[in-house]
Chain A
Amino acid sequence: GGIITQTPKFLIGQEGQKLTLKCQQNFNHDTMYWYRQDSGKGLRLIYYSITENDLQKGDLSEGYDASREKKSSFSLTVTSAQKNEMAVFLCASSISGQNQDTQYFGPGTRLLVL
C-alpha cells in the first residue's frame, strides 16, 4: 500500500499572493496530477507529469505553475491568487503497467483567498 499526502490541508491567502501547494506519494508511481475542484463541481486538470522533470499542461494551467523535481513529489504554485477564490486542489498519482492509470488521490488542499 501507499499514501498521498498534501500540504497544507488548508491555505488562506491574500489577493495577488503566490501560493505553493505540495504533494508527496510513496507508491513509487510514475505519473502525478493536479486537479482543481470548485464546490459541487467536477475535477478540472491543471497540470500533470509523467515522469521526474516532466510537465504537461491541462485544461486549466493558466495562472498556475508546477514542478516535479523528484519522482515522489509534485508541487503546484498559484502564481497570483484571485480575490474570493475558493476551491479544493487534489493531487493524484498513477502507475503504468497492468493497472495502468488507476489514480489514487490525496485528501486535498482547501484554498480560500481573502
Chain B
Amino acid sequence: AQKVTQTQTSISVMEKTTVTMDCVYETRDSSYFLFWYKQTASGEIVFLIRQDSYKKENATEGHYSLNFQKPKSSIGLIITATQIEDSAVYFCAMRERNNNNAPRFGAGTKLSVKP
C-alpha cells in the first residue's frame, strides 16, 4: 500500500533564507511519480514540481528544487531565497506507475515566511 508522510506540521523562516520540507513515502512499485503542491491562504492548490522515480537528477523549477533520495524513500522540497508569498501549506504526493491508483497525499507542512 502506498503511504506519504510529512512529519513537519509547520515551519517558520525569515525571508530570503532557504528552507527544506521533508517527505517520505512507502511503495512496493519500482516506478512512481512524486509531486509537490502549494495551497495558498485562499485555498487554491497549484502544482509546483515533480520527480519521476527513474530519473536520478533532482528536478528544479525556478526557486524550487527537490532532494530525491531513493534509497531512503525521501523527496524533500527546497525553496531558496524565500519570499513572503511563499507562505502557504505544501503537500507532497506520490502516484505509483503500474496501477490505476490515485495519487496519495501527505498531511501537509505549513510554511510561514517572516520579513
Measuring CB to CB, which residues of chain A are less than 8 angstroms from any residue of chain B?
A: 31, 33, 35, 41-43, 45, 48, 50, 56, 58, 88, 90, 92, 100-105, 107-108
Check: B30 CB closer than 8 A to any chain A CB. no
Secondary structure call for the B interface: strand
B47 touches A102 (CB 8 A): yes
A103 touches B37 (CB 8 A): yes
CA A40 – CA B105 in complex, angstroms?
14
B103 touches A101 (CB 8 A): yes
Q: Which residue of A lies closest to B44 (CB)?
A: A107
CA A41 – CA B106 in complex, angstroms?
10
Selected from A31, A45, A90, A101, the residue in CB contact (under 8 A) with B45 is A90
B43 touches A42 (CB 8 A): no
B107 touches A41 (CB 8 A): yes
CA A72 – CA B91 in complex, angstroms?
26
Check: B35 CB closer than 8 A to any chain A CB. yes
Measuring CB to CB, which residues of chain B are less than 8 angstroms from any residue of chain A?
A: 33, 35, 37, 43-47, 50, 91, 93, 95, 97, 100, 102-108
B91 touches A105 (CB 8 A): no
CA A41 – CA B33 in complex, angstroms?
23
CA A100 – CA B99 in complex, angstroms?
13
Q: Which residue of B lies closest to A106 (CB)?
A: B45
Shortest distance between the CB of B46 and any CB in chain A (Å): 7
Chain A neighbourhood of B33, CB < 8 A: 100-101
Shortest distance between the CB of A60 and any CB in chain B (Å): 12
CA A56 – CA B35 in complex, angstroms?
21
A43 touches B105 (CB 8 A): yes
Chain A neighbourhood of B37, CB < 8 A: 103, 105
| Contact status of A105 and B105, CB under 8 A, knowing A42-B91, A50-B100, A56-B100 | no
CA A55 – CA B94 in complex, angstroms?
20
CA A31 – CA B104 in complex, angstroms?
15
